[in-house]
Amino acid sequence: MNIAVFASGTGSNFAAIASAVRRKQIPAKLALLVCDNPRAKVIGKARKAGVQVFLIERGAFAQRRDFELAIMARLKQAGIELVVLAGFMRILSPEFVRKFKNRIINIHPALLPAFKGSHGIKDAFDYGTKVTGVTVHFVDERMDHGPIILQEAVPVREKDTLEALEARIHRVEHSLYPRAIRLFVQGRLRIKGRKVFSAG
């Protein structure tokens, strides 16, 4: 199975996924990185890992539809069967999501449905929750909403700084995301309504 990772920034999740693929924990090919930010550190990580980079800037297109059509054409060309969002800071249109129905997954640094959006760690920290965590879910047409594949809780300690909590969350992400991708690639996930069952 050919996988594409979409990322806009640092790429620590990309690196964890690439490493799991290299160690054959994920039995698939990491065929493509799709990146919308020419300054993103993830680009260097992909080049180092020998993964093809498709750099595509939203600003080069008048309409979001044309931007997404160009991405879809590249995914088709690369024979991509699973899209893995890893810090991709753009919302995909309902049309794109329908085209890849149940074949797009996302990681979110909080326990959904709490703290949706692009600042999940800080929002939970500022709110004063004692527990937050990480969610991997299928992407549907609403933001941070699709059926949940895996979740793991992360404690918030009284002495935590935001940076300490961020580091703890990222450590969990780097093991949880490869586990979820492995389940998908092995064909072990079944979706029934909002629920995801992992067989085997």
The binding site for ligand GAR (CB under 6 A) comprises 7, 9-13, 86-87, 107-109, 118, 120, 173
In the beta sheet, which residues pair with residue 189? 198
Q: Which is nearer to ligand GAR, 73 or 153 (CB)?
A: 153
Angle value at C-alpha 35, between 33 and 36, nearest 5 degrees: 165
Q: Which is nearer to ligand GAR, 69 or 114 (CB)?
A: 114
* 108 classed as catalytic: yes
The catalytic residue among 108, 137, 170, 174 is 108
Q: What are phi and psi of 53, to 5 degrees?
A: -110, 125
C-alpha to C-alpha distances, 177 to 43, 107, 136, 180, 189, nearest whole angstrom: 19, 7, 7, 5, 14
Min. distance of Cβ 109 from ligand GAR in angstroms? 4
- 60-76 burial: b if 16+ Cβ within 10 Å, else e: eeeeeeebbeebeebbe
Q: Which is nearer to ligand GAR, 73 or 167 (CB)?
A: 167
- 46 is written with which tokens? 């992909």
Pairing, β 2-7 against β 29-35: parallel
Q: Which is nearer to ligand GAR, 79 or 113 (CB)?
A: 113
Q: Residue with CB nearest ligand GAR?
A: 87
Min. distance of Cβ 141 from ligand GAR in angstroms? 16
Min. distance of Cβ 200 from ligand GAR in angstroms? 27
Min. distance of Cβ 78 from ligand GAR in angstroms? 21
Catalytic residues: 108
